[in-house]
Amino acid sequence: MRRITLSAFISLDGVMQAPGGPQEDTSGDFKLGGWTFPHFDGELGGGAMGEIFARPFDLLLGRKTYDIFAGYWPNVTDPNNPIATQFNRVAKYVASRSNPQLTWHNSRWLGPDVVAALKKLKAEDGPDLLVQGSSDFLQTLWQSGLVDEFTVLTFPVILGGGKRLFGSGATPVGLKLIDAKPYPTGVIVAKYRPDGAVKTGSFAG
């Protein structure tokens, strides 16, 4: 059985748009791209990110994120860059409404029925399916109950607007905290697993 895991960079108000650079995703007139950069250091990159990429994985990407990655990572040829080496080598499964032209090495279209294709992939033996970015695609995964584990890196900024990790209409679910760690630059890394229905109660006597 394969798991679907995801990691996301978010601001304190839940925005995940364009964490890596000013031109990464300017849709909706977003002007604050690159907001994670001032908070990255060797400890966060080597610690939290190293742990995320430590287990064997294939990539699972929405089309927009795939295009961003495919325009960048194949051009990183330094053999000492562990992320580039992994990303360029592993299989890339792409969610897209139409059959796209996928030029990045070892890329595969999931087909017109993404949920059915992912259920089939999860039933197979193989490495985890790791989701990066892909804000729109994440909503489909969440609504379909396909996420097994996710890591959220919360950065000490408030962005005020932009694409959010959980948009309107997110499916309610309880969560179990597996691990949490603060880093010196103010980033908090927390790992969760779905834990059934949301439990409610009352403080009223």
Dist CA 76 CA 171 (whole Å): 37
DSSP state, residue 198: P
- Which residues touch 62 (CB under 8 Å, ≥6 apart)? 94, 95, 96, 133, 134, 135, 136, 137, 138
Q: Does residue 54 lie in a domain region?
A: yes
What pLDDT score does 168 carry?
A: 72
How does pLDDT run across 128-170, given as a tens digit for each residue?
999 988 788 888 898 899 999 999 999 999 999 999 988 777 8
197 located within any domain: no
% of the chain residues with pLDDT over 90: 71
The pLDDT assigned to 79 comes to 85
Residue 145 lies in a domain: yes
pLDDT value at position 139? 86
CA-CA distance, 12 to 157, in Å (whole number)? 6
Q: Is residue 195 part of a domain?
A: no
Residue 107 is part of a domain; what is its CATH number? 3.40.430.10
200 is a domain residue: no
- Let me know if residue 199 belongs to a domain: no
Write down the pLDDT at residue 10: 95
CA atoms of 70 and 75, how far apart (whole Å):
9
Q: What is the predicted pLDDT for the residue at 82?
A: 83
Contact status, residue 110 vs residue 77, Cβ threshold 8 Å: no
Residue 115 in any domain: the answer is yes
Evaluate whether residue 161 is within a structural domain: yes
Mean residue pLDDT across the chain: 92
Using CA atoms, how far residue 97 sits from 5, 17, 72, 117, 119, in Å, is 22, 21, 23, 13, 17
pLDDT tens digit string along 45-63?
888 888 888 889 999 999 9
Q: Specify the pLDDT at position 144.
A: 92
The residue range of the domain holding 52 is 4-185
Q: How many domains does the chain have?
A: 1
pTM of the model: 0.88
**What pLDDT sits at residue 46?**
82
pLDDT bracket for residue 183 (50, 70, 90): very high
Nearest to 165 by CA among 70, 100, 175: 175
* Residue-wise pLDDT tens digits, 82-113: 889 999 999 999 999 998 999 999 999 999 99
